[in-house]
A and B are shown apart, each in its own frame.
Chain A
């Protein structure tokens, strides 16, 4: 508890939620249902999980470049992630986080696998920090 990681902030703002962690990339277009927020990509490590209100920790974006608008659609339905943390952010997630006002941090001073799933996190996209604020809740 209290561990604070430093990275590069790409999209400002503060987001808090339980960590949803994968070392894989996420395709927000066609890989996540924009009506439910549930990961639907067959065989994805997070298949069946819902991104709404979570701090999504993943390698990068992947797949169709329409994924930026998928993040905007999720936000319109109140199903956006609270924040996103990437090992290396790509243009799809980065532009999507700007459109949907989702804090985004990448290149932490630790491997993203160091973040335990379900850990309560506070992401500051302006300062570029990720702080552990509680034990895993699940």
Chain B
């Protein structure tokens, strides 16, 4: 890979260990992907989930600070594994806070959310960025038209250097449609967009899908729900919706050459995806989880309105997950009081799965998120009851899942 003298000096260690280890990561990843050079990024988003980083990750981040590492571009932080305001933390939870503090010392914004878009963190069209958390990449690329790969530890390297390899989603030719999905099912609401995302992700695999037939532009909440499920069920960082997303004015122009034969997504396909996601039957509910990705202020208001006068069942742990800034807005409006008064646990920073507290094995969980469903099943062998936000709230109040 072609490096400038300044970049070569970083790689050689002339500018300290933090920039050296960062450049080693970026040049190795770039070489693996045949990147010709490195390009500047304007922002980064970092996953520092303590359940994934462990003590080794803690030591790594603290060593970066100790050896003078500072972030060269804005860095926001993904959901962490503990609520920052919790009292009586375990050793592991204190380690998570140390990781967050290390990032703050290097200049990071402690946003602590898998849904930075509702916090106003929005790269503009054409910006090159390095964002980790698989759920963020489809929104950044597809909805905003900014450019990011699915980053991991490399996002830390990009934060330190302000650089990323010129490859994959940063190259225009790699952003074209590769398969066509024709949607005849009527899709609205975060639960239905989440199912559509899961199905589109699985059908796409490692090819960029173009969805045709969606008549109304999705809301931000619907895009976020779609993108999270899409990312976790597939391997690509981008989708197009013909006539709606910015790089897909119509089906013909988003493909190189004539569009391929379409795969149909009809009501039956969505019903099959629902059946694949939900493995539980009607009956008692142990946990309700709303807010994967983190709930927006609109979702919190809707939940409060639906709960008005009702109360969560004592037999149910009823979570709505959000981030600190949205929580603060909801508190100012009185929405948090309404929700907590009704027995809902409104969590900030973390969620039921990104947490040191594991969902008890075999729990029956009601959710409106295909991503939450997949993780709760794989981590805790949970039985999943899947439906609309209103279905989940009704289950939280009655303690029963009434749908078949």
Question: Which residues of A come within 8 Å of B, CB atoms?
Answer: 8, 10-11, 29-30, 34, 62, 64-70, 72-73, 75-76, 88-92, 94-99, 104, 106
Q: Which residue of B lies closest to A99 (CB)?
A: B153
Q: Return 19 A-B CB contacts under 8 Å, by A number.
A: A10-B32, A34-B54, A65-B132, A65-B134, A65-B151, A65-B153, A66-B152, A69-B56, A69-B57, A73-B54, A76-B55, A90-B32, A94-B25, A95-B29, A95-B157, A97-B28, A98-B24, A99-B60, A106-B32
> 3 tightest A-B contacts by CB?
A65-B152, A66-B52, A68-B153
Q: Enumerate chain B residues within 8 angstroms of A94, measured Cβ to Cβ.
A: 25, 28-29, 32
Given A66-B49, A69-B53, A73-B55, 12 other A-B contacts at CB below 8 A?
A: A8-B32, A66-B47, A66-B53, A69-B52, A69-B153, A70-B52, A73-B54, A76-B56, A94-B29, A95-B28, A95-B157, A98-B25
A98 touches B52 (CB 8 A): no
The answer to whether B378 has its CB under 8 Å from any CB of chain A is yes
A65 and B130 alpha carbons, distance in the complex (Å):
13
A76 touches B59 (CB 8 A): yes
A98 touches B150 (CB 8 A): no
Q: Which residue of B lies closest to A96 (CB)?
A: B153
Q: Enumerate chain A residues within 8 angstroms of B29, measured Cβ to Cβ.
A: 91, 94-95
A73 interface neighbour in B47, B56, B151, Cβ under 8 Å: B56
A69 and B28 alpha carbons, distance in the complex (Å):
16
A62 and B378 alpha carbons, distance in the complex (Å):
16
Question: Which residues of B come within 8 Å of A, CB atoms?
Answer: 21, 24-25, 28-29, 31-33, 47, 49, 52-57, 59-60, 132, 134, 149-154, 157, 235, 378
Q: Enumerate chain B residues within 8 angstroms of A29, measured Cβ to Cβ.
A: 52
B54 touches A99 (CB 8 A): no
A91 touches B154 (CB 8 A): yes
B46 shortest CB reach to chain A, Å: 11
B47 touches A65 (CB 8 A): yes
A98 touches B21 (CB 8 A): yes
B32 touches A72 (CB 8 A): no
A72 touches B57 (CB 8 A): yes
A99 touches B21 (CB 8 A): yes
B367 shortest CB reach to chain A, Å: 19
A70 and B342 alpha carbons, distance in the complex (Å):
40
Q: Enumerate chain B residues within 8 angstroms of A62, measured Cβ to Cβ.
A: 235
Q: Which residue of A lies closest to B153 (CB)?
A: A68
Q: Which residue of B lies closest to A74 (CB)?
A: B56
B98 shortest CB reach to chain A, Å: 15
Q: Enumerate chain B residues within 8 angstroms of A106, measured Cβ to Cβ.
A: 32
Q: Which residue of A lies closest to B154 (CB)?
A: A95
A97 and B28 alpha carbons, distance in the complex (Å):
9
A67 and B152 alpha carbons, distance in the complex (Å):
8
B28 touches A72 (CB 8 A): no
A88 and B32 alpha carbons, distance in the complex (Å):
7
A107 shortest CB reach to chain B, Å: 9
Q: Enumerate chain A residues within 8 angstroms of B33, measured Cβ to Cβ.
A: 91
A30 interface neighbour in B31, B154, B378, Cβ under 8 Å: B378
B28 touches A104 (CB 8 A): yes
Q: Which residue of A lies closest to B149 (CB)?
A: A91
